[in-house]
Every structure is written in structure tokens, then in C-alpha cells.
């Protein structure tokens, strides 16, 4: 079975050392991890700790990983919308010139909210133009700046873009997710750090199995746990459902051919 992780991190964060993870967590560290856990490929973003350098050093590491190990690494470029044209130029550069596959947005990167359309729309226009998906962190301590409902508003204005609702809006906004995904057909969600089975099953029962991607939040939470959750601990899933969630949906959303 092909297994893809839709939400991991590659690069430097001094906090990694606290629990014995190397910093930077590089391509060879990731490969060891993936091979050990039976993960085919991972879509990785630079960690938030790199915001002060506009994430560039870590995106260089990701670019190398993509080049050296095609089919194993996929890259998120991470953006600070307040940089204006610099931000949109950077997105184009990493996607068109360095082979990245999607954009990641976290409102804490540049202290903004998803409701600030004047700030966000130029970014989304660029994303739409480049025909790549965008992962938006939702829920959590700053959930009031990045809720699934806010993503729905963006999705309704940019219908050609696939929006990935990060972390299922959990915790804090997961109750919004089902209605949002029913209404906004150009949304998918991913499960990074969501280990509460009923939260995940609720979405699967409501919208089906083809718009949920496995995400891990590795190394903040171990990638092996996310895979194990779906493989062994979601007892209502059929084999076909598992194949979709663990990798089939990823391949479709990110255009991976095997």
C-alpha cells in the first residue's frame, strides 16, 4: 500500500533537540523515519521557527530533498502575506523553479487573520494561477484567526483552488468542519495531531472517504502514530477506505503518479 503523509516538517527548530530529534531534521533523517514506518512519501513544510528568516534556509533543505529523492519528498512553500509582492514572487519561485507542490499558511507566521481579504486574496490569486493546493492551519490556540468557516469563505471565492483544512479545525473549531466540507466541495482536510477517533469518524460519515488525508505533524507528533491510527485503530474503515485516506487521496490531490 502506498502511504503518504500530508503534513510534516523538515528543517530546524531548537525545540527538536529537547526530545532527541536532530535539528535540522534533514532529508536523510526523514528517509530513515519513513523507511522504518513504511511511509512512501511526505509533504513537508519548513518549521514555524524559521519565520524570522522567511523560512528560506529550511526551504532550501526541502528543495534539496525533493531533487535528491523524487517520489519521497514533496514541498510546501510557506508564506508571510504581509511581504506583498515579495511573498507572491517567493511562492512562484519555489513552486515553478524549485519544484514545490503546495503552499502552507499559518496566521501566526505574520500575525494576520484569514478574514483580512485585502491581504490574503493576492496570495490566493497566485496560488490559483499556479494551480497548486494550499494548506491552512486551523483551530488551536489562535483558532479565532483561522477557523474552518473562514476557509470556507476563501474557498467559495477561489473555486479552482483546493483548500486543505489543516488539523481538521481541532481543537476548538472541529464542530465547524462538517458543514464547511459539505458546502465547499473544493476543500479537503488532513488529520495531523488528531487522535480523537470520533472527530475523524464524524467527518468520514458525513462527507465520505475521499477528502480526508493522513497527516502526522512529524516530528512534533510521531508519523508512525498517524499511520497506525488508520491502519489498526479505526475499526469502521474498509480496506478501500484506508487505501484512500493513507495515500490514494494524497496522490490525487497532489497529482502524484506511481
Partner 1 sequence: MIYDSHAYLGNNPVWSDIGLNLPFDGDEWVKLLDRVGIDGVLTAPPGIGADEDFIPDMDIISEAVKRYPDRIFGFARINPRKGDMALNELRKRVEDQGFKALKMNTLDGNYTLDDKGLLYPVIETAANLKIPVFFHTGDYSFPTCTPSMVSSIAKDFSQVNFIIGHMGFGGVNGFPGSTEELIPCMKSSQNLFTETAGVFKAEFIQDVVDSIGADRVLLGSNGPYSPNELPKIMIGKHMNKLTDTEKSLILGGNFLRVFNI
Q: Should residue 46 be labelled a site residue for partner 1 when binding is judged by CB under 8 A?
A: no
Nearest-angstrom CA–CA distance, 32 and 175: 37
8 Å CB contact between 189 and 224: no
Q: Should residue 239 be labelled a site residue for partner 1 when binding is judged by CB under 8 A?
A: no
Neighbours of 42 (CB within 10 A): 27
CA distances to 68, 124, 187, 211, 241 from 182, in Å: 39, 21, 9, 11, 19
* Chain centre distance of CA 205: 22
**In this complex, which beta carbon is closest to partner 1, that of residue 110 or of residue 121?**
110
Instruction: Quote the least distance from Cβ 37 to partner 1, whole Å.
Output: 10
Q: Should residue 205 be labelled a site residue for partner 1 when binding is judged by CB under 8 A?
A: yes
8 Å CB contact between 164 and 6: yes
Q: Should residue 222 be labelled a site residue for partner 1 when binding is judged by CB under 8 A?
A: yes
**In this complex, which beta carbon is closest to partner 1, that of residue 90 or of residue 140?**
140
Which one of residues 26, 153, 220, 251 is an interface residue with partner 1 (CB under 8 A)?
A: 220
**In this complex, which beta carbon is closest to partner 1, that of residue 161 or of residue 212?**
212
**In this complex, which beta carbon is closest to partner 1, that of residue 236 or of residue 257?**
236
Instruction: Quote the least distance from Cβ 234 to partner 1, whole Å.
Output: 7
**Burial of 192 per CB tally in 10 Å (0-12, 13-18, 19+):** buried
**In this complex, which beta carbon is closest to partner 1, that of residue 21 or of residue 119?**
21
Nearest-angstrom CA–CA distance, 233 and 52: 39
Q: What is the CA radius of gyration of the chain?
A: 17
User: CA torsion angle for 187, 193, 195, 197 (degrees, to 10)?
Assistant: 0
Q: Should residue 217 be labelled a site residue for partner 1 when binding is judged by CB under 8 A?
A: yes
Site for partner 1 in 132-171 (CB under 8 A): 139-141, 143, 167, 170-171
Q: Should residue 113 be labelled a site residue for partner 1 when binding is judged by CB under 8 A?
A: no
Q: Should residue 219 be labelled a site residue for partner 1 when binding is judged by CB under 8 A?
A: yes
Nearest-angstrom CA–CA distance, 128 and 154: 12
Instruction: Quote the least distance from Cβ 190 to partner 1, whole Å.
Output: 12
Nearest-10 crossing angle of helices 148-157, 117-130: 60
Nearest-10 crossing angle of helices 27-37, 223-232: 20
Q: Should residue 172 be labelled a site residue for partner 1 when binding is judged by CB under 8 A?
A: yes
Q: Should residue 234 be labelled a site residue for partner 1 when binding is judged by CB under 8 A?
A: yes
Instruction: Quote the least distance from Cβ 62 to partner 1, whole Å.
Output: 21
Instruction: Quote the least distance from Cβ 73 to partner 1, whole Å.
Output: 21
Please give the residue ranges that form the binding site for partner 1 (CB under 8 A): 15-16, 18-21, 139-141, 143, 167, 170-172, 192-198, 201-202, 205, 217, 219-222, 224-225, 228-229, 232-237
Amino acid at each position: 500500500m502506498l502511504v503518504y503523509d500530508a503534513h510534516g516538517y523538515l528543517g530546524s527548530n531548537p525545540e527538536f533537540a529537547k526530545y532527541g530529534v536532530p535539528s535540522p531534521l534533514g532529508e536523510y533523517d526523514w528517509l530513515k523515519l519513513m523507511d522504518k514506518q513504511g511511509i512512501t512519501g511526505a509533504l513537508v513544510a519548513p518549521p514555524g521557527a524559521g519565520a524570522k528568516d522567511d523560512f528560506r534556509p529550511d526551504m532550501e533543505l526541502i528543495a534539496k530533498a525533493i531533487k535528491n529523492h523524487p517520489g519521497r519528498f514533496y514541498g510546501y512553500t510557506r508564506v508571510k502575506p504581509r511581504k506583498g509582492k515579495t511573498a507572491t514572487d517567493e511562492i512562484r519561485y519555489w513552486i515553478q523553479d524549485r519544484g514545490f507542490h503546495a503552499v502552507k499558511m499559518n496566521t501566526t507566521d505574520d500575525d494576520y487573520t484569514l478574514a483580512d481579504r485585502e491581504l490574503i486574496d493576492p496570495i490566493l490569486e497566485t496560488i490559483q494561477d499556479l494551480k497548486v493546493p494550499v494548506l491552512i492551519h486551523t483551530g488551536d490556540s489562535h483558532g479565532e484567526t483561522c477557523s474552518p468557516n473562514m476557509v470556507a469563505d476563501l474557498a467559495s471565492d477561489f473555486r479552482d483552488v483546493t483548500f486543505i483544512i489543516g488539523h481538521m479545525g481541532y481543537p476548538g473549531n472541529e464542530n465547524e468542519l462538517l458543514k464547511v466540507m459539505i458546502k465547499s466541495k473544493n476543500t479537503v482536510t488532513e488529520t495531523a495531531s488528531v487522535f480523537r477517533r470520533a472527530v475523524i469518524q464524524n467527518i468520514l460519515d458525513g462527507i465520505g472517504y475521499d477528502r480526508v488525508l493522513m497527516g502526522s505533524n512529524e516530528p512534533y507528533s510521531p508519523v508512525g502514530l498517524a499511520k497506525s491510527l488508520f491502519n489498526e485503530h479505526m475499526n469502521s474503515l474498509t480496506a478501500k477506505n484506508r487505501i484512500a485516506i493513507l495515500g490514494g487521496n494524497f496522490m490525487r490531490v497532489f497529482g502524484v503518479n506511481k
